[in-house]
Amino acid sequence: MSNRVAFVTGASRGIGRAIALTLSRAGFDIVVASPEVENNEAVAAEIRAGNGEALTLDFDVTSADSVKAGVAKALADKSRIDVLVNNAGITRDGLAVRMKPADWDLVLRINLQGAFLCAQQVLPSMMRARWGRIINMASVVGQAGASGQANYAASKAGLIGLTKALAQEMASRNITVNAVAPGYIATDMTKVLPDEVKQKILASVPLGRIGTPEDVAAAVKFLASDDASYITGQVLAVNGGMYM
């Protein structure tokens, strides 16, 4: 039997890159999908250096056409997509009272609508195979809220609702749909925060450390595996205890 195939959006760096590498080591062929073409190739080279298989896609989740074409190319090349990891995401922080409509729209389009478009394109092949895993990258902010992140919190809370609805729709086809909600993880997205903000966040983490992309990837690997076959519609928090 050919390897299972995992399609990872936003796989060019950070958590997405860690997920792609971790799933590759677990025996999956990886579709590295993001608009950062050079970074995609670097991640694919890393996967191949470890004897893994990788396909790269110049992939824009804000474009229904790009999503449709990308999924079609992956299916043509690999003949199957077993796991979809909706990891593509951005922030455009600012207080709600001053938030530009464009910053609200872009965050919702990438973080929430993008995940929906990807799931919609991938599901038919999973339904035919009667096996599938969709794993949506939520956030502790989608569970607890955060000042200055109304758009991001709304998009991630929306992703949790989408996860639960899809889980109910797809359960009869043996397709599980779950979310992973990372807390404070060391990535490019968090690196730019001022030091006093970082210290304040760290003080709110009972485990007393910043999470790594690999901590999140381990949770994704579990949900993508046969071991998680009786888990669906759940939110797995990887947050060091900062929200319980």
**Burial environment of residue 97 by CB neighbours within 10 A (0 to 12, 13 to 18, 19 or more):** exposed
Q: Which of 152, 184, 230, 243 is the catalytic position?
A: 152
Task: Return d(Cα 21, Cα 24) in angstroms, integer.
Answer: 5
Condensed to tens digits (0 to 9), the pLDDT of residues 122-175 reads 999 999 999 999 999 999 999 999 999 999 999 999 999 999 999 999 999 999
Residue 70 pLDDT: 98
**Spans of the chain, pLDDT less than 50:** none
Residue 193 pLDDT: 82
The answer to whether residue 140 sits within a structural domain is yes
The answer to whether residue 240 sits within a structural domain is no
Task: Return d(Cα 45, Cα 54) in angstroms, integer.
Answer: 8
Domain of 84: which CATH number?
Answer: 3.40.50.720
152 given a catalytic annotation = yes
The one-letter amino acid code at 14 reads G
- For the stretch 57-60, contacts whose Cβ atoms lie closer than 8 Å and that sit 24 or more positions apart, written own/partner, are 57/31, 57/32, 57/33, 59/9, 59/33, 59/34, 59/35, 60/35
The answer to whether residue 244 sits within a structural domain is no
Residue 1 pLDDT: 65
The answer to whether residue 242 sits within a structural domain is no
* Domain that includes residue 72, residue range: 5-235
CA distances from 180 to 14, 46, 69, 148, 224 (A): 15, 24, 27, 22, 11
Secondary-structure breakdown of the chain: helix, strand, coil percentages, each rounded to the nearest 5: 55, 15, 30
Block residue for tokens 């299972």: 4
Nearest to 187 by CA among 91, 115, 94, 109: 91
Residue 190 pLDDT: 81
Task: Return d(Cα 13, Cα 34) in angstroms, integer.
Answer: 9
The answer to whether residue 81 sits within a structural domain is yes
Q: For residue 162, give both structure tokens.
A: 């989408």
The answer to whether residue 132 sits within a structural domain is yes
The answer to whether residue 241 sits within a structural domain is no
Residue 187 pLDDT: 87
Residue 192 pLDDT: 82
Sign of CA dihedral 45, 47, 48, 50: positive
Number of domains the chain is built from: 1
The answer to whether residue 197 sits within a structural domain is yes
Residue 191 pLDDT: 82
